[in-house]
Structure 1
Amino acid sequence: MLVTEVEFELPKGYVDADGTLHRTGTMRLATAADEIYPLKDQRVQNWPAYLIVILLARVVTRLGSLTEINPGVIEGLFSEDLAHLQDLYNRANGLTPHVLSARCPHCDRQHVVELPLLGG
């Protein structure tokens, strides 16, 4: 069975305007639309680093008791939490490089080899 949602717990947590801490949430797998449509967003066109904010706002489906996840919520995350969600996004969507251990036939030393992603 294909798992389409992943639960997470933020290292620090998001603090809303009322001072409530939100740490647990759910992220769904990204669709092609999730990765394509944000490229048309003027904020992304003016500042490409903003892409991750839009992407996470689209795929984070729950964060604590918040009723809406929008770019403003993602902007308000602590940097450690943003990095945590970015890593989770990459792992959940198969965007992390695969590594394997290999032995050199010439020197007989063990090496870690990173396999490139398709299209990378």
Structure 2
Amino acid sequence: MDSHEITDTEFEFILPRGLVETEGMVHRLGVMRLATAKDEIYVQKHRRTKESSAYGVLVMLSQVITRLGNLSLVTPELLEGLFTRDLAYLREFYNRINQDGDVYIPVECPHCNSNFQVEFSLSGES
């Protein structure tokens, strides 16, 4: 990513499809930070979340995504334009970094039964 330095509480991601702006620009590369208690409180108090609890996912993601492509301001309304595959990816990525603490999944080789870790990816990227 460009000049923004990633900290140990921030994680880079690549969306499978990307957020497409009305001008046709596609944003796939992003940075998500760990969620805080303040974020949780903000989501619960947000007007749109009170109207529909499902909207809380977009509100939370807008709080923790610090950059998406060349966008530094990510709003719930902007995230409404995500493809469902990208939304599913972001939800899983959020859960992985906030609950498990990293983006690596333990796996076992089906041939030799060796255990190792691979980086989480729904995008098909390696």
Encode CA deviations 1:68-95: one digit per residue, 9 max, x unaligned: 2111121110010001000010010016
> 2:87, 2:69 → 1: CA distance?
16
Equivalent residue runs for 1:1-120 within 5 Å: 3-94=8-99
Deviation for aligned residue 1:40? 1.1
Please, what is the CA RMSD of the aligned residues?
1.6
Q: Is the 8 A contact 2:30 2:66 kept in 1?
A: yes
Q: Is the 8 A contact 2:32 2:64 kept in 1?
A: yes
Partner of 1:103: none
> 1:24, 1:88 → 2: CA distance?
13
Letter in 2 for 1:4: T
**Structure 1: where are the runs of 5+ without partners?**
97-120
Letter in 2 for 1:87: E
Q: Is the 8 A contact 2:16 2:85 kept in 1?
A: yes
Deviation for aligned residue 1:42? 1.7
Partner of 1:104: none
> 1:44, 1:70 → 2: CA distance?
14
Partner of 2:113: none
> 2:95, 2:63 → 1: CA distance?
14
> 1:95, 1:67 → 2: CA distance?
26
> 1:52, 1:67 → 2: CA distance?
19
Q: What TM-score comes out, normalization by structure 2 length?
A: 0.71
Q: What TM-score comes out, normalization by structure 1 length?
A: 0.74
Structure 1: 4+ residue segments shifted above 2 A: none
Partner of 1:99: none
